[in-house]
Amino acid sequence: GSGTLALEHALAATGVGPGGMVALSAYDFPGNFLTVHALGARPVLVDADPATGQMDPASLSVALGRFSIAAVVVSPLHGGIAPLDDIIPLCDRACAAVVEDCCQCPGGTLAGRPLGTRGRAGVVSFGGGKPVSCGRGGAVLTDDPLMAQRVKLRSHRGPRLAVPGNLQLAALEPQLAEWKETLGKAADRLGRLDGVFRNNGACQPVWRVSTGNLSGFYRLGLMAPSGDRQRLIESAKALNLPLAAGFRAIHAGRSAARFETAGDLPGALECGRRMMTLEGEMVRWDGKAFEGALERCRAWAPAP
């Protein structure tokens, strides 16, 4: 029915259940936190890198040493790529299953390898507004036959909540067939956006575009200077740029009884205060619309 439900199935298939522990970044899609609770498990929040918004491996290492963690949810966010080459060995040593939440980066790659294929499972979303969409739906990716069987059994049990119909699923096929070409065009345009923002005085991009590495473009992250986020968002909207605030840090305003932590989470709080997201759909606008948006970006974030 959704990427969120796919994540629930994937975590359950790794063996997560009531009383189990699942680590995730304290700067993440809040639905992931709620999904852990839906399984009766307990979230363990680890810090985020304030420069990129991605999970901090050092904080994860502390959490894995302090708690008996069954699974780790890793979410590449805002056009960035989580440091999986550091995260996965830590999890392997701790016998914790890695589940990649790729709902915001369909088709992304790290060193030429598709995101969502490095851990025990990956999760993708086809919900409304996603780069590849049929209005709803999600999928679990795994090469583990036991995981696959567990997911199938769980997804076929009881009512299948809001699953896509055949006509909706048929709408995915032409999108997927053209997706490699679409991502290539997106990478070129992300490179041009990078040239606008990388050396400006207003904000810094968290996405990275390099050979073999592409996270996707559902939302493109920009870090605002401390205290300037709301002013920058308002000035962007005045130029008709689709900019909004990022996520709030998961632990901000929540009872500490609902989670465990591996220590203080200053990076996640910093991301929650400073992260802005530019609507990634912009890189797929037709040529004239994109060029116009690029000029407005230059006007909004001029070089210092």
Question: In the structure encoding, which two tokens stand for residue 252, read together?
Answer: 């901000």
- At 182, the pLDDT band (50, 70, 90 cuts) reads confident
Q: What is the full DSSP assignment across 212-241?
A: TBB---SEEEEEPPTT-HHHHHHHHHHTT-
CA quadruple 163, 166, 168, 171: dihedral, nearest 10: 140
- At 160, the pLDDT band (50, 70, 90 cuts) reads low
pLDDT at 154 over 80: yes
* Angstrom distance (rounded) from CA 127 to CA 51: 28
pLDDT in tens, 113-150: 889 999 999 999 999 888 889 988 999 999 999 999 99
CA quadruple 67, 72, 73, 75: dihedral, nearest 10: 100
Question: For the chain, what percent of residues have pLDDT higher than 70?
Answer: 97
CB atoms within 10 A of CB 40: 11
pLDDT at 99 over 60: yes
* Angstrom distance (rounded) from CA 11 to CA 302: 44
Residue type, 54: Q
51-65 as b/e, with b when 16 or more CB fall inside 10 Å? ebbbbbbebbbbbbe
* Angstrom distance (rounded) from CA 167 to CA 234: 40
pLDDT in tens, 102-116: 999 888 888 888 899
pLDDT in tens, 42-55: 999 999 999 999 99
pLDDT at 304 over 70: no
The helix/strand/coil state of 139 is strand
Please tell me the pTM assigned to this model: 0.94
Check residue 159 and give its pLDDT. Answer: 54
Question: In the structure encoding, which two tokens stand for residue 67, read together?
Answer: 């708690």
Beta strands in the chain (DSSP E): 21-25, 42-46, 71-74, 97-101, 109-110, 113-114, 121-125, 138-141, 204-205, 219-223, 243-245, 260-261, 275-279
pLDDT at 218 over 60: yes
In 156-228, which ranges are continuous DSSP H helix? Answer: 166-177, 179-197
Least trusted range by pLDDT, from 27-31, 127-131, 230-234:
127-131
